[in-house]
Amino acid sequence: MNNGQFWTEAETQALKDLRAAGNSFAVIARFLKRTRNACIGHANRLRLNAPDRLITKEEHFSDVLAETGSIQQAGRAIGYDLDKSMSRFRKVCKELGWQAQ
């Protein structure tokens, strides 16, 4: 995270471009390695308008999956940790006496 650091011109332009493309502040924050609130605050100070349409998690997941071919990377891009979820799934299966694949 860029704690307490000023925004560079490149970061500001990326924020503008990503927001105009319909990305959520959570996605933008992950891309810029800043907090979501920092991105929201900077966008407000820049008086950026909300995009006409936000990209849904499903669309973002599909885009990253098509680009990388990795379900794990696509999941991480939308804030979903597949490895952690699978370990929870296996734990529940074990508790219930089911055979997890």
In the chain, pLDDT over 70 holds for what percent of residues?
Answer: 79
Question: 66: which 2 tokens?
Answer: 């098509």
pLDDT tens-digit series, residues 50-83: 877 777 777 877 887 888 887 777 777 767 666 6
Q: Tell me how far the alpha carbon of residue 58 is from its chain's centroid.
A: 12
Give pLDDT, residue 13: 95
Q: Please answer whether residues 60 and 26 qualify as being in contact, where contact means their C-beta atoms are separated by less than 8 angstroms.
A: no
Confidence of residue 42 (pLDDT cuts 50, 70, 90): very high
- Range 23-49 average pLDDT: 92
